[in-house]
Amino acid sequence: MTNRKVITGATLIDGAGGPPTENATVLVNEDRIEGVGLAGSIQIPADAEVIDGSGMTLLPGLIDCHDHLASMSYEIASRWGITEMRSQRHLRVASVLRQTLETGYTTVRDAGGLDAGFRMAVEEGLVPGPRLLCGLGFITPTGGMADRLSPLGFAAPGGPDTGLPWGVADGPEGFRAKVREMVRAGADVIKCATTGGASSTAGLGPKDLLFERDELEALVDEAHKRGCLVMCHALGGPGLRMAIEVGVDSIEHGSYLDEAPDLLPIMVEKDISLAPTFGVYTFHATRGTPHGRARAAALREHHVRSVQVAMEAGVRVVAGTDEGGWEHGNNAHEISCLVEAGLTPMQAIQAATGRAAEAIGLAAEVGTISVGKQADMILVAGDPLQDVTILERGKAVDFVMKGGVVYLDRRAQA
Ligand SMILES: [Zn+2]
What are the tens digits of pLDDT across the range 165-209? 999 999 999 999 999 999 999 999 999 999 998 878 777 889 999
Is residue 214 situated within a structural domain?
Answer: yes
Give the residues across from 5 on adjacent strands: 28, 49
The CATH number for 57's domain is 2.30.40.10
**Total structural domains within the chain:** 2
What integer pLDDT is reported at residue 254 of this predicted model?
Answer: 97
Q: Are residues 108 and 36 in the same domain?
A: no
- Kindly give the distance from the C-alpha atom of residue 284 to the centroid of ligand 1, in angstroms, as a whole number: 12
Is 381 a residue whose pLDDT tops 80? yes
Which stretches does DSSP call E strand in 188-293? Answer: 189-193, 229-234, 250-253, 273-275
Same domain, 381 and 323: no
Predicted local distance difference test score (pLDDT) of residue 81: 80
Q: How far is the CA of 271 from the centre of ligand 1 (A)?
A: 21
Clarify whether residues 82 and 52 are in a common domain.
Answer: no
Based on the fold, state whether residues 205 and 72 are members of the same structural domain. Answer: yes
Q: What are the angstrom distances between the C-alpha of 293 and each of 176, 198, 208, 298, 368? A: 35, 8, 17, 8, 37
- Residues 12 and 105 grouped into a single domain: no
Nearest to 133 by CA among 61, 68, 221, 62: 68
pLDDT number for residue 158: 66
Residue 77 pLDDT greater than 60, yes or no? yes
Distance from the alpha carbon of residue 328 to the mean position of ligand 1, in angstroms: 13
- Percent above pLDDT 90 for the chain: 82
Q: Average pLDDT, stretch 320-330?
A: 92
Residues 326 and 296 in one domain: yes
Distance (angstroms) between ligand 1 centre and the Cα of 279 equals 11
- Cα 174 from chain centre: 27
Please give the average per-residue pLDDT across 3-31, as a whole number: 97
Q: Are residues 250 and 187 in the same domain?
A: yes
Task: Tell me the percentage of the chain whose pLDDT exceeds 70.
Answer: 98
Confidence at 400, pLDDT banded by 50, 70, 90: very high
- In this predicted model, what pLDDT tens digit does every residue of 206-236 receive, in sequence order? 999 999 999 999 999 999 999 999 999 999 9
- pLDDT at residue 1 greater than cutoff 60: no
159 and 224 together in one domain: yes
Structural domain boundaries enclosing 50: 4-61+367-409
CA of 232 to the centre of ligand 1 (A): 10
> Is residue 414 included in any domain, yes or no?
no
What is the whole-number distance in angstroms between the Cα of residue 67 and the centre of ligand 1? 6
Q: What's the pLDDT tens digit per position in 139-163?
A: 999 988 888 888 787 877 766 677 8
* Statement to judge: residues 45 and 153 lie in one domain: no
User: Ligand 1 centre and the CA of 10: distance in Å?
Assistant: 35
Q: Give residue 68 CA to ligand 1 midpoint distance, Å.
A: 6
For position 243, which CATH number holds? 3.20.20.140
**3-state class percentages of the chain: helix first, strand second, coil last, to nearest 5:** 35, 20, 45
